[in-house]
Amino acid sequence: MLTTFLQALTAFAGSVAGGALAVSVGVSHRKLCALISFAAGTLLATTFMHIVPEAAGLLPVPALLTAFVSGYALFFLISRYVTHVCPACSASHFDEHTGNEIRATAILLAVALGIHSAFDGIAIAVGEELEHSGAVSLFTTVTLHKLPEGLALCALFLKAGWGRATSFGFTLALESTTLIGWALGALSLARVTDNLWFYALLAHVGGGFIYLALHAVFNEARKHPSRFILFFFLLGVALIALIR
């Protein structure tokens, strides 16, 4: 548990670094798009190279599909009816809103991001239980995703008109839910004695990863050349393949 806690803390530090980068130097949307596409590649590759093989080893096919669909559906429903669950994956949407509109959605964003970060924390918590190299891959994936997420979130608050200190403070507060997610994941693992439930939870997290990855790629493709997005996406896939 100490190992996964330190990993969750490192992932949180990645989002802090992203927020600090936004406050200090900012970043162009093109550079942010490159980071988002790269992170999306790591998310999708981790799901199909690590999570699917591990879960498919024990779960019946119907249970596996149900777990993946439930994870995907959760993020889809939140993004569809509440607010975009991932600031990094939905950065283009925020360009279309004014400061007042962004302020009005701050509370909803906090709820959605809390659920998203809980998934990140759970992924890190369960990663240590994987038999092969999944622990390293899940930790790497979540950490790489946190940097553009913290950057986009802090930039969002700045765009809404809040000062640098306030925007950075909000970013820290929201991203700290990653640690809460880790605690929930560690607690649930302590109560789970049946491996089938463990791998169902893992597949559920994988379904959320699939949604985030696809949403990021298709969303960024609306404003940037497909080749640009595909290059960084495949770079993320290659990194996870090399780790494996």
Counting the structural domains of the chain, the total is 1
Q: pLDDT by residue (tens digit) across 86-104?
A: 665 555 555 555 555 556 5
Q: Which of 197, 181, 234 is nearest to 45 (CA)?
A: 234
State the average pLDDT for the chain: 78
Amino acid at 89: C
0.75 cut: is pTM over it?
A: no
Where in the sequence is the domain holding 89, given as residue range(s)?
A: 2-243
- Distance from C-alpha of 124 to C-alpha of 50, rounded to nearest angstrom: 13
Q: pLDDT by residue (tens digit) across 163-189?
A: 889 889 988 988 898 999 888 877 776
Least confident of 7-11, 65-69, 157-161, 167-171: 157-161
Give the angle subtended at the CA of 168 by the CAs of 166 and 171, to the nearest 5°.
Answer: 110
Is 118 or 133 the better-scoring residue by pLDDT? Answer: 118
DSSP state letters, 65-115: HHHHHHHHHHHHHHHHHT--S-TTTTHHHHTTS-HHHHHHTHHHHHHHHHH
